[in-house]
């Protein structure tokens, strides 16, 4: 097979990280090659066919703001859309989309195939081509069929395939997921370069036939009857849903028109004490317990046998029945991830209400695989060990499609930047969830797959999904990840919000009958003294739209026309303005210290006020900056304060 012998960027792998990396590199003007062993698996969802959720939809919004594909494809192939955490504040609200997994993969592949400068090839990367001696750099890859392919940058997005094996009960086989073999050659190549690799574990639940479920014994979960979109394209009305007529039989055979789109219901049920007894009585056959699996599994997505073992006091755990596609009869049984033997899986499934007659179509299994220690990487996701070599996705020890996509955009953009000698894309904890994730990965030791949680972000109110484009569009525009039309639309919306808030602040209402009646007509209490429209809009229960209508009817409104105001975003800005301002100041203060360098030869033993434990941790890890020191285990804020005083004193003495 003949391939072009030189590419600016080569991306190994076609999962969610690989897709975003390849698209980002090509959009930045790089000749890009994506190489994968099976092009029928591009953008494939091997586990849950859903996108988003707490901490994850924020990443998806940021991927979208950086010109990525995940949000657009999820919006296009949605079967159900829900907003989560609505009883909580806007900082932790999230959207979750149930997708048709086949349509998702098809739409993603089409986007890749139509992207200029990007080529896809079905082949296997067996090793890296390295040059440079003491300062090694990657110069290409060696493929099984295509031979040597030269490249300025290489991005590895190998997912769960490095030296991977699948395990269910007593059965083991090589492979990173059902139907796909594992990769031993690339893992050996990384071993040869002395990369630190760890063994991690993931898993998936059984799938069952929708026609064998008794929904009368479950609780329906309809989608939201509110128009919800993850992508800016969806919000602007420029997307057309991609869907098929539902399967003629089974629990997903009927649709509901909700939130301006066709949706199907999901269903909830629960495990039972009988199911737990079956699991406990067969733990000796569970690979997680009998020593067949050595890798660490994800804390926040445990198998059912792990849940039963760890939470012995609980008599039930939730189980969600979710569709795999419009024309599929298969159900994803969320909550029953397992690697128990098939015969036990049958018994456990049938001990769940509504699933007494369930027929399993695919059995659950675990996957054990090699993952890179991401402390080997820098903020750009480039290897510290080999120049030009980038890593993204589950190969970095993360779990989840969204985390992979976020890393993919960053790795792909930086691979392109390196190939073209352009400024790098560096995201921080202060500007994005992706920045939080990357900072955690490269600076904190962890012994299990990493999952993004909203609690990991210190500035959640600033990093809301609805602010992703205003935060990141300027960066994306500078790097050519988004075009001028997209950037100008973001700027117009930002300016509209600012003008609306300014107009509210300068519009006064008095304690008189005319003003009071106008407000009361909108269900708002009139002021007892002169107040601004902003003051009234910040009252508990006040509606921003109602306030604007009231002041418009009075003829005193000089702000944008209501139809042009992005109400939801503006209302959050208004209602939480004081908290947002406080968090912004704190973020700026921390960012100022984030990149403050620590001298390589610093003696932590002489830093006054630094505790012995902190001095020992800092001396062993040698953080390059104050930001990294802040996130070093065993180091407290007071320790950082002592370190900052020492650095300032040292700087003054050096200049005196």
Domain 484-577 has CATH 1.10.10.1800: yes
* pLDDT average, residue stretch 559-579: 86
**pLDDT for residue 245:** 86
Name the band, by pLDDT with cuts 50, 70 and 90, for residue 151: very high
* pLDDT average, residue stretch 220-234: 94
Residues paired with 138 in a beta bridge: 130
**pLDDT for residue 218:** 96
d(CA 640, CA 642): 5
| Average pLDDT for the chain | 92
- Give me the architecture of the 6-200+369-478 domain, per CATH: 3-Layer(bba) Sandwich (3.50)
* pLDDT average, residue stretch 250-261: 87
End-to-end CA distance of the chain, in Å? Answer: 67
User: Residue 266 pLDDT more than 60?
Assistant: yes
- DSSP states of 200-231 as a string? EEEEE--EEEGGG--GGGSEEE---SS---SS
Residues paired with 263 in a beta bridge: 256
pLDDT, tens digit, 9 for 90 and up, residues 351-381? 999 999 999 999 999 999 999 999 999 999 9
**pLDDT for residue 15:** 96
Percent of the chain at pLDDT above 70? 99
**pLDDT for residue 4:** 59
Taking CA atoms, 542 is separated from 69, 212, 507, 522, 533, in Å, by 37, 49, 16, 9, 11
pLDDT, tens digit, 9 for 90 and up, residues 164-200? 998 998 888 888 888 888 888 898 899 889 999 999 9
Domain 595-655 has CATH 1.10.150.570: yes
Q: Which residue has the higher pLDDT, 246 or 464?
A: 464
* Contact predicate 178/34, CB 8 Å: no
Return the minimum-mean-pLDDT range out of 100-109, 292-301, 455-464, 579-588: 292-301
Tokens 């005083």 sit on residue: 645
* Contact predicate 254/246, CB 8 Å: yes
* Contact predicate 463/448, CB 8 Å: no
User: Domain segments of the chain: what residues?
Assistant: 6-200+369-478, 207-230+240-367, 484-577, 595-655
Taking CA atoms, 197 is separated from 192, 281, 567, in Å, by 11, 35, 48
**pLDDT for residue 141:** 96
Prediction pTM value: 0.91
Chosen CATH of 207-230+240-367 out of 2.40.50.70, 2.30.30.90, 2.40.30.260, 3.40.50.2300: 2.40.30.260
**pLDDT for residue 656:** 61
Q: Is 121 left (phi over 0), alpha (psi -120 to 50) or beta?
A: beta
Q: Which residue has the higher pLDDT, 112 or 525?
A: 112
Percent of the chain at pLDDT above 90? 68
pLDDT, tens digit, 9 for 90 and up, residues 614-650? 999 899 888 888 888 887 877 877 788 899 899 988 8
Q: Where would I find the H helices in 453-597?
A: 468-478, 484-506, 513-520, 533-537, 544-553, 567-575, 577-594
Taking CA atoms, 505 is separated from 534, 540, 559, 573, in Å, by 5, 17, 10, 13
**pLDDT for residue 579:** 87
User: Residue 137 pLDDT more than 80?
Assistant: yes
Tokens 């997005």 sit on residue: 157
d(CA 452, CA 379): 17
User: Residue 595 pLDDT more than 90?
Assistant: no
**pLDDT for residue 438:** 95
d(CA 35, CA 25): 14
**pLDDT for residue 182:** 81
**pLDDT for residue 3:** 55
Name the band, by pLDDT with cuts 50, 70 and 90, for residue 556: very high
Would you say the CATH fold of 595-655 matches that of 6-200+369-478? Answer: no
Backbone angles phi, psi at 151, to 5 degrees: -155, 150
């Amino acid at each position: 097979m003949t391939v072009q012998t030189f590419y600016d960027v080569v991306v190994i792998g076609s999962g969610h990280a690989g897709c975003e990396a390849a698209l980002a590199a090509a959009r930045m003007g790089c000749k890009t090659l994506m190489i994968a062993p099976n092009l029928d698996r591009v953008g494939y969802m091997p586990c849950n066919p859903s996108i988003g959720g707490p901490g994850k939809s924020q990443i998806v919004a940021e991927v979208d703001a950086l010109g990525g594909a995940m949000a657009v494809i999820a919006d296009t192939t949605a079967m159900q859309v829900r907003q989560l955490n609505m009883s909580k504040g806007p900082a932790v609200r999230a959207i979750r989309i149930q997708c048709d997994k086949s349509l998702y993969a098809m739409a993603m592949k089409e986007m890749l195939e139509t992207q200029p400068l990007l080529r896809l090839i079905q082949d296997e990367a067996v090793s890296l081509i390295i040059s440079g001696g003491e300062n090694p750099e990657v110069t290409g890859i060696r493929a099984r069929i295509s031979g040597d392919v030269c490249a300025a940058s290489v991005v590895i997005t190998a997912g769960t395939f490095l030296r991977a094996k699948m395990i269910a009960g007593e059965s083991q086989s090589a492979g990173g997921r059902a139907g796909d073999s594992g990769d031993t050659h690339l893992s050996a190549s990384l071993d040869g370069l002395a990369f630190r690799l760890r063994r991690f574990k993931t898993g998936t639940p059984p799938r069952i036939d929708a026609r064998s479920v008794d929904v009368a014994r479950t609780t329906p979960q309809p989608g939201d009857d509110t128009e919800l979109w993850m992508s800016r394209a969806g919000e602007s009305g420029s997307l057309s849903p991609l869907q098929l007529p539902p399967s003629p039989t089974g629990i997903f055979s009927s649709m509901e028109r909700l939130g301006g789109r066709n949706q199907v219901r999901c269903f909830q049920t629960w495990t039972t004490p009988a199911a737990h007894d079956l699991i406990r009585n067969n733990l000796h056959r569970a690979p997680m317990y009998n020593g067949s699996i050595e890798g660490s599994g994800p804390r926040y997505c445990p198998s059912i046998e792990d849940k039963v073992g760890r939470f012995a006091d609980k008599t039930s755990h939730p189980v969600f029945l979710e569709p795999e596609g419009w024309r599929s009869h298969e159900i994803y049984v969320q909550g029953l991830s397992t690697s128990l033997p098939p015969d036990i899986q049958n018994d456990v499934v049938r001990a769940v209400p509504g699933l007494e007659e369930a027929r399993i179509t695919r059995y659950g299994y675990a996957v054990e695989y090699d993952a890179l220690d991401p402390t080997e990487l820098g903020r750009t996701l480039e290897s510290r060990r080999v120049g030009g070599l980038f890593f993204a996705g589950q190969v970095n020890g993360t779990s989840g499609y969204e985390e992979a996509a976020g890393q993919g955009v960053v790795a792909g953009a930086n691979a392109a930047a390196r190939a073209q000698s352009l400024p790098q894309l560096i995201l921080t904890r202060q500007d994005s969830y992706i920045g939080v994730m990357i900072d955690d990965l490269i600076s904190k030791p962890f012994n299990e797959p990493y999952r993004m949680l909203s609690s990991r972000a210190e500035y959640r109110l600033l990093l809301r999904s609805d602010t992703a484009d205003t935060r990141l569009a300027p960066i994306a525009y500078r790097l050519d990840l988004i075009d001028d039309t997209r950037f100008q639309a973001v700027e117009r919306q930002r300016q509209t919000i600012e003008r609306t808030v300014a107009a509210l602040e300068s519009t006064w209402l008095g304690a008189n009958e005319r003003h009071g009646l106008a407000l009361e007509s909108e269900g708002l209490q009139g002021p007892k003294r002169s107040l601004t429209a902003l003051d009234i809009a910040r009252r508990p229960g006040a509606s921003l739209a109602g306030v604007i209508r009231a002041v418009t009817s009075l003829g005193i409104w000089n702000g944008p026309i209501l139809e042009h105001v992005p109400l939801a975003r503006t209302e959050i800005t208004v209602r939480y303005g004081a908290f947002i301002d406080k968090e912004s100041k704190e973020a700026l203060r921390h960012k100022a210290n984030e990149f403050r360098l620590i001298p390589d030869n610093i003696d932590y033993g002489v830093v006054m006020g630094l505790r012995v434990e902190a001095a020992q941790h800092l001396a062993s890890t040698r953080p390059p900056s104050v930001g990294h020191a802040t996130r070093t285990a065993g180091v407290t804020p007071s320790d950082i304060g002592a370190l900052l005083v020492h650095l300032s004193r040292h700087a003054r003495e050096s200049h005196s």
